[in-house]
Structure 1
Amino acid sequence: MNVMLAFALGGWEWVVVILAVLLLFGAKKIPELARGLGTGIKEFKKATREVTEEIQNATEETHSSPKKSAANGQASPAQTVSQSSTPPKA
Protein backbone atom coordinates (compact mmCIF):
# COMPACT_ATOMS: atom_id res chain seq x y z
CA MET A 1 0.00 0.00 0.00
CA ASN A 2 1.26 3.41 -0.86
CA VAL A 3 1.91 5.57 2.21
CA MET A 4 0.70 8.69 0.45
CA LEU A 5 -2.79 7.21 0.11
CA ALA A 6 -3.25 7.45 3.88
CA PHE A 7 -2.69 11.21 3.75
CA ALA A 8 -4.96 11.70 0.74
CA LEU A 9 -8.08 11.55 2.90
CA GLY A 10 -10.40 14.52 2.68
CA GLY A 11 -12.17 16.30 5.52
CA TRP A 12 -15.24 14.06 5.65
CA GLU A 13 -13.15 10.91 5.58
CA TRP A 14 -11.24 12.08 8.66
CA VAL A 15 -14.52 12.85 10.43
CA VAL A 16 -15.72 9.31 9.75
CA VAL A 17 -12.42 7.85 10.98
CA ILE A 18 -12.56 9.91 14.19
CA LEU A 19 -16.18 8.90 14.83
CA ALA A 20 -15.30 5.24 14.30
CA VAL A 21 -12.43 5.52 16.80
CA LEU A 22 -14.74 7.20 19.32
CA LEU A 23 -17.32 4.45 18.92
CA LEU A 24 -14.76 1.66 19.21
CA PHE A 25 -12.74 2.92 22.18
CA GLY A 26 -14.91 5.51 23.92
CA ALA A 27 -13.99 9.01 25.02
CA LYS A 28 -12.32 7.90 28.27
CA LYS A 29 -10.02 5.37 26.66
CA ILE A 30 -8.59 7.65 23.93
CA PRO A 31 -6.34 9.75 26.26
CA GLU A 32 -4.95 6.54 27.77
CA LEU A 33 -4.23 5.18 24.30
CA ALA A 34 -2.55 8.43 23.27
CA ARG A 35 -0.46 8.44 26.46
CA GLY A 36 0.64 4.87 25.83
CA LEU A 37 1.47 5.68 22.23
CA GLY A 38 3.54 8.68 23.35
CA THR A 39 5.43 6.55 25.87
CA GLY A 40 6.11 3.94 23.22
CA ILE A 41 7.43 6.54 20.78
CA LYS A 42 9.63 8.02 23.53
CA GLU A 43 11.12 4.60 24.34
CA PHE A 44 11.69 3.88 20.65
CA LYS A 45 13.53 7.17 20.14
CA LYS A 46 15.63 6.52 23.25
CA ALA A 47 16.61 3.06 22.02
CA THR A 48 17.40 4.43 18.56
CA ARG A 49 19.59 7.14 20.07
CA GLU A 50 21.46 4.59 22.23
CA VAL A 51 22.13 2.31 19.27
CA THR A 52 23.35 5.26 17.19
CA GLU A 53 25.71 6.33 19.98
CA GLU A 54 27.07 2.78 20.33
CA ILE A 55 27.74 2.61 16.59
CA GLN A 56 29.47 6.00 16.63
CA ASN A 57 31.62 4.99 19.60
CA ALA A 58 32.59 1.73 17.91
CA THR A 59 33.55 3.53 14.70
CA GLU A 60 35.58 6.09 16.61
CA GLU A 61 37.42 3.30 18.43
CA THR A 62 38.24 1.48 15.19
CA HIS A 63 39.44 4.68 13.54
CA SER A 64 41.63 5.60 16.51
CA SER A 65 43.10 2.09 17.01
CA PRO A 66 45.22 1.94 13.80
CA LYS A 67 46.59 5.42 14.47
CA LYS A 68 47.71 4.39 17.96
CA SER A 69 49.37 1.20 16.72
CA ALA A 70 51.10 3.11 13.90
CA ALA A 71 52.44 5.58 16.45
CA ASN A 72 53.92 2.66 18.40
CA GLY A 73 55.84 1.50 15.34
CA GLN A 74 53.42 -1.20 14.28
CA ALA A 75 52.00 -1.18 10.78
CA SER A 76 48.29 -0.57 10.49
CA PRO A 77 46.22 -3.06 8.45
CA ALA A 78 45.86 -0.51 5.65
CA GLN A 79 49.63 -0.11 5.40
CA THR A 80 50.19 -3.87 5.43
CA VAL A 81 47.68 -4.43 2.64
CA SER A 82 49.08 -1.65 0.47
CA GLN A 83 52.64 -2.95 0.89
CA SER A 84 51.70 -6.55 0.13
CA SER A 85 49.55 -5.64 -2.87
CA THR A 86 52.53 -4.55 -4.98
CA PRO A 87 53.92 -7.49 -6.97
CA PRO A 88 57.55 -8.45 -6.36
CA LYS A 89 60.02 -7.19 -8.94
CA ALA A 90 61.52 -9.95 -11.08
Structure 2
Amino acid sequence: MFGTSIAASWVFGHCQQDISFFVDEDRNRAGKMHFGRPVYHPVDAPRDCPVLVALAPEVARSVVTRLGRTAMQWVMPQEIGLYNSGNA
Protein backbone atom coordinates (compact mmCIF):
# COMPACT_ATOMS: atom_id res chain seq x y z
CA MET A 1 0.00 0.00 0.00
CA PHE A 2 1.40 3.40 -0.94
CA GLY A 3 1.28 5.97 1.84
CA THR A 4 0.32 5.98 5.49
CA SER A 5 -2.24 8.77 5.22
CA ILE A 6 -5.91 8.68 6.11
CA ALA A 7 -6.84 7.28 2.68
CA ALA A 8 -4.32 4.44 2.85
CA SER A 9 -5.30 3.70 6.45
CA TRP A 10 -8.99 3.57 5.49
CA VAL A 11 -8.33 1.19 2.60
CA PHE A 12 -6.14 -0.93 4.88
CA GLY A 13 -9.10 -1.31 7.23
CA HIS A 14 -11.06 -2.98 4.43
CA CYS A 15 -8.39 -5.31 3.06
CA GLN A 16 -5.76 -5.64 5.77
CA GLN A 17 -5.36 -9.37 5.18
CA ASP A 18 -3.97 -8.49 1.73
CA ILE A 19 -1.52 -5.77 2.83
CA SER A 20 2.00 -6.88 3.83
CA PHE A 21 3.70 -3.49 3.98
CA PHE A 22 3.36 0.23 3.30
CA VAL A 23 5.51 2.44 1.07
CA ASP A 24 5.91 6.09 2.06
CA GLU A 25 8.19 8.82 0.71
CA ASP A 26 8.35 10.49 4.12
CA ARG A 27 11.68 9.40 5.59
CA ASN A 28 10.25 10.07 9.08
CA ARG A 29 7.70 7.29 8.55
CA ALA A 30 9.94 4.86 6.67
CA GLY A 31 11.55 2.28 8.92
CA LYS A 32 8.63 2.31 11.34
CA MET A 33 5.48 0.22 11.67
CA HIS A 34 1.96 1.22 10.64
CA PHE A 35 -0.89 -1.04 11.78
CA GLY A 36 1.71 -3.69 12.55
CA ARG A 37 3.16 -3.62 9.02
CA PRO A 38 6.59 -2.26 8.05
CA VAL A 39 6.82 1.09 6.26
CA TYR A 40 9.46 1.30 3.51
CA HIS A 41 10.82 4.25 1.60
CA PRO A 42 10.32 3.59 -2.16
CA VAL A 43 14.03 2.93 -2.73
CA ASP A 44 14.02 0.29 0.03
CA ALA A 45 10.68 -1.39 -0.66
CA PRO A 46 10.45 -5.05 -1.71
CA ARG A 47 10.77 -5.40 -5.46
CA ASP A 48 8.31 -6.93 -7.89
CA CYS A 49 5.44 -6.60 -5.40
CA PRO A 50 2.09 -5.00 -6.23
CA VAL A 51 1.66 -1.67 -4.44
CA LEU A 52 -1.82 -0.14 -4.36
CA VAL A 53 -1.82 3.64 -4.76
CA ALA A 54 -5.04 4.55 -2.92
CA LEU A 55 -5.22 8.15 -4.09
CA ALA A 56 -7.40 10.10 -6.50
CA PRO A 57 -6.59 8.87 -10.03
CA GLU A 58 -4.84 12.06 -11.13
CA VAL A 59 -2.71 12.10 -7.97
CA ALA A 60 -1.98 8.37 -8.30
CA ARG A 61 -0.77 8.93 -11.88
CA SER A 62 1.55 11.68 -10.67
CA VAL A 63 3.01 9.42 -7.97
CA VAL A 64 3.51 6.52 -10.37
CA THR A 65 5.11 8.81 -12.96
CA ARG A 66 7.48 10.21 -10.36
CA LEU A 67 8.36 6.85 -8.76
CA GLY A 68 7.82 4.60 -11.77
CA ARG A 69 11.53 3.88 -12.10
CA THR A 70 11.36 1.59 -9.08
CA ALA A 71 10.76 -2.13 -9.59
CA MET A 72 7.39 -2.13 -7.85
CA GLN A 73 4.18 -3.11 -9.63
CA TRP A 74 1.95 -0.05 -9.21
CA VAL A 75 -1.79 -0.71 -8.90
CA MET A 76 -3.83 2.43 -9.51
CA PRO A 77 -7.53 3.15 -9.01
CA GLN A 78 -9.72 3.34 -12.07
CA GLU A 79 -11.49 6.56 -12.89
CA ILE A 80 -15.13 6.41 -11.87
CA GLY A 81 -17.37 7.75 -14.61
CA LEU A 82 -20.50 8.39 -12.51
CA TYR A 83 -20.79 12.02 -13.54
CA ASN A 84 -20.12 11.30 -17.19
CA SER A 85 -22.60 8.45 -17.45
CA GLY A 86 -25.63 10.35 -16.18
CA ASN A 87 -25.92 8.21 -13.04
CA ALA A 88 -25.03 10.99 -10.60
TM-score (norm: length of structure 1) = 0.22
Structure with higher RCO (Cα < 8 A, 6+ apart):
2
TM-score (norm: length of structure 2) = 0.23
The structure where helix makes up a greater share of residues is 1
